[in-house]
Amino acid sequence: MNLTELSLRQMRSALDKKEISSAELTQSYLDNIKKTDAKIESYVTVCEEAAMEQANAAQERINANEVSPLTGIPLAIKDNICTEGVRTTCASRMLEDFIPPYNATVMEKLNNENAVMLGKTSMDEFAMGSTTQTAYEKKTKNPYDLEKVPGGSSGGSAAAVSAMLAPAALGSDTGGSIRQPSSFCGVTGLKPTYARVSRYGLIAFASSLDQIGPIARSAEDCGYLLNRVSGFDPHDGTSMHMAVPDFTAKCGQGVKGLKIALPKEFFEDGATEFVRKTVLSAAEKLKAMGAELVECSMPALKYAVPAYFLISSAEAASNLARFDGIKYGHRSEKGSTYGELIMNSRSEGFGREVKRRIMLGNYALSSGYYDAYYGKACALRQEIREEYNKIFETADVILTPTAPRTAFGINENITDPKMIYYSDICTVTVNIASLPAISTTCGYDESGMPVGMSIIGKMWDEETIIGAADAFEKTFTRIPAKGVC
């Protein structure tokens, strides 16, 4: 039995039947990390000793038949989710030595289940990027080709799952940061409905867009993990006070009768011909399985990237104002006055991309420009929501490419902000409209790099998109990452 190839449900069954122990399962992943992560650099921090202690404690619960769905199962956690006593850096020099005194709510939920934390995964600095190359410490590589980016900002989480260095992971998604790296790394990633999962303890990028979600090797595993981290949290004023359904309820039910919309703009604006054909071919497979394809249009897509970057940068400028090197964060050794100290601390602590977005956000919020930029972006947000509502009048879900192209080279246009920003064109509207979406692999290009497709659902309807992705995955054979074989 290859322990690192088991699904989460298979792990649960094997643990409960005492066919394996949590320590054996955890050690198998730690061994993989020791063997290959020096090449991939998916982890910022590996919690080897603590993970084995957690595994042994979980095994005591299993032996006493006091089991929750995640008891004894190892997971990886993105490094912008606060973990008490464990370094949480946001992949930034600003927080390189920050050790949170508390847990994020999602971590409390996992700890209450006696899950095992393997470590903290790398990311773009403060989740601002689509490559994981803006990270201060570990610039993660794509497990399918170590010369290519894993996507971002949750590139470390996606790469770890892809390379068998974790069975599943938590990431965060502000404009595609779960789905795009999942597409590039050939795994499945789910961005839940905004307010489905508590953001308490998630170090904020853009508070109206951020959402924590799962990355795994299947849609069912994503739903299985989402079941355990969702729910109302009094610490998060935006979290929804509603019952948590079983997000895997529609797995195995197929797609017969499901109406799938195909907005033409997603297949025209920047998508390569290969990506377009691959995703449309996947749509035809779903049609052959009994789904109905519905043509539609989303004219506002052409404004989505500018609207997203204005909204997210404005919120980032406000959220990151707290990092001044005084209370916490990197403090410069230079500066003879209070103002100089803050200026130098922020100049040294933040990387180029973070500085760019802070400046853009402050400009958009400044007197005389607020209405012209931020105000218009908020108006576009409402227009995008209305266009989605119109599409959902005639369809159950929407199918699009996850990214307009497959993973690109680490040195390929990596310094061109416009090129990087427009790689999010297929994902940002979901965050703007607060909708759920899941990305899963639907093909491979001529060099063997994965192609991802996204299934977008109505608010609070994660079960349908997980079920649809599961149905496709059952007909599709994934190719393991060759870069670590």
Q: Which two tokens stand for residue 463?
A: 């079960």
Which residue has 């020099």 as its token pair? 93
Cβ atoms of residues 106 and 235 within 8 Å:
no
Give the separation between CA 131 and CA 151, rounded to whole angstroms: 4
Dump strand ranges (E) for 266-380: 292-296
- Residue 277 annotated in active site: no
Distance of alpha carbon 304 from alpha carbon 464, whole angstroms: 25
Please give the Cα distance from 3 to 22 (Å, whole number).
11
Residues forming beta bridges with residue 450, ordered by sequence position: 444
Closest of 231, 210, 233, 213 to residue 221, by C-alpha: 213
Per the residue annotation, which of 28, 78, 239, 313 is the catalytic one? 78
**Which residues partner with 216 through β-bridges?**
168, 188
Catalytic residue among 177, 345, 434, 454: 177
Position 393, amino acid: E
Q: Annotated catalytic, 78?
A: yes
The C-alpha atoms of residue 55 and residue 78 are separated, in whole angstroms, by: 20
Q: Is 301 left (phi over 0), alpha (psi -120 to 50) or beta?
A: alpha
Count CB neighbours of 64 within 10 A.
8
21: left (phi over 0), alpha (psi -120 to 50) or beta: beta
Structure tokens at 227: 């079941």
Pairwise CA distance, residues 3 & 26, whole Å? 9
Question: Which residues in 87-100 are b (16+ Cβ under 10 Å) and which e?
Answer: bbbbbbbbbbebeb
Residue 425 to residues 40, 114, 246, Cα–Cα distance (Å): 27, 38, 31
Cα distance between residue 229 and residue 124, in whole Å = 23
Phi-psi region of 199 (alpha: psi -120 to 50; beta: other; left: phi over 0): alpha
Residue 362 vs residues 92, 355, 374, 421: alpha-carbon distances, Å? 20, 11, 10, 19
Alpha-carbon dihedral sign for residues 196, 396, 162, 155 = negative
Residue 298 tokens read as 């989303």
Beta-bridged to residue 83, according to DSSP, are: 86
Question: What is the C-alpha to C-alpha distance for residues 383 and 359, in angstroms, rounded to an integer?
Answer: 26
- Which candidate in 21, 153, 157, 162 is catalytic? 153
> How many Å separate Cα 481 from the centre of its chain?
19
Cα-flanking dihedrals φ and ψ of residue 72, to 5°?
Answer: 80, 0
- Catalytic residue list: 78, 153, 177
